[in-house]
Amino acid sequence: MLDEIQNCFANEKTLFSRHARMEMEIEEYGAILEKEVHEAIINGKIIENYPDDDPYPSRLVYGKTAKNRALHIVCAYSKDDNLTIIITAYRPDPEKWINNERRKI
């Protein structure tokens, strides 16, 4: 699934939800740019799957930007439309994540 998501970014077949844009703008550690989301996806990996999300199953991708900024991006992939939908993007909180990849219990 990561290949399909990355291909959508490479071919500009992405849609940022209103929620994603708002969260990216008000990120407490500084606004997240679309370019940074792209960089993190291209260099990222899926760390969680949400198969029951509706209307499309979604994934949590962890990646780093060109400036080494760690990001989490929740995105869904529409196979019918060959489109990736960005649901939200944020900087992982070190109080909640181990190495930005595993949730703390």
pLDDT above 90: residue 13: yes
Looking at the chain, the whole-number percentage of residues with pLDDT higher than 90 is 96
DSSP alpha helix (H) spans, the chain: 2-10, 18-26, 34-42
Res 105: pLDDT:
81
**Residue 96 CB partners (closer than 8 Å, separation 6+):** 103, 104
Average pLDDT over residues 65-78: 97
Mean pLDDT in residue range 42-49: 96
Which residue shows structure tokens 């529409």?
78
Asked if residue 60 lies in contact with residue 40, where contact means CB atoms within 8 angstroms, the answer is no
